[in-house]
Amino acid sequence: MRLLVTGGAGYIGSVVTAQLLDAGHETVVLDDCSKGHSESVPPGARFVRGTLREMAEPVLAEGGFDGVVHLAAKSLVGESVQRPGLYFSENLGGTLALLEAMRRTGVARIVFSSTAATYGEPAGVPIVETDPTLPTNPYGMSKLAVDTALTEHARLHGVGAVSLRYFNVAGAHRGYGERHDPETHLIPNVLAVAAGAKESVSVFGTDYPTPDGTCVRDYIHVADLAGAHLLALGACTPGSHAIYNLGNGSGYSVREVIEVCRRVTGHPIPVVTGPRRAGDPAVLVASAAKIQAELGWKAERDLSAMVTDAWAFMSGGAGAGA
* Contacts to ligand UFG by CB under 6 A: 75, 77, 115-117, 139, 168, 184-186, 189, 201-204, 215, 217, 254, 277, 280, 284
- Residue nearer to ligand UFG on the CB measure, 148 or 202: 202
Determine which one of 11, 139, 166, 244 is catalytic.
Answer: 139
Is 139 a residue of the active site? yes
> How far apart are CB 139 and ligand UFG at their closest, in Å?
6
SS (H, E, C) the chain: CEEEEECCCCHHHHHHHHHHHHCCCEEEEEECCCCCCHHHCCCCCEEEECCHHHHHHHHHCCCCCCEEEECCCCCCHHHHHHCHHHHHHHHHHHHHHHHHHHHHHCCCEEEEEEEHHHCECCCCCCECCCCCCECCCHHHHHHHHHHHHHHHHHHHHCCEEEEEEECEEECCECCECCCCCCCCCHHHHHHHHHCCCCCCEEEECCCCCCCCCCCEECEEEHHHHHHHHHHHHHHCCCCCEEEEEECCCCCEEHHHHHHHHHHHHCCCCCEEEECCCCCCCCEECECCHHHHHHHCCCCCCCHHHHHHHHHHHHCCCCCECC
- Residue nearer to ligand UFG on the CB measure, 40 or 245: 245
> How far apart are CB 238 and ligand UFG at their closest, in Å?
30
> How far apart are CB 232 and ligand UFG at their closest, in Å?
19
C-beta nearest to ligand UFG: residue: 215
> How far apart are CB 5 and ligand UFG at their closest, in Å?
19
- Residue nearer to ligand UFG on the CB measure, 88 or 204: 204
- Residue nearer to ligand UFG on the CB measure, 65 or 139: 139
Q: Would you please indicate which residues are annotated as catalytic (active-site) residues?
A: 139
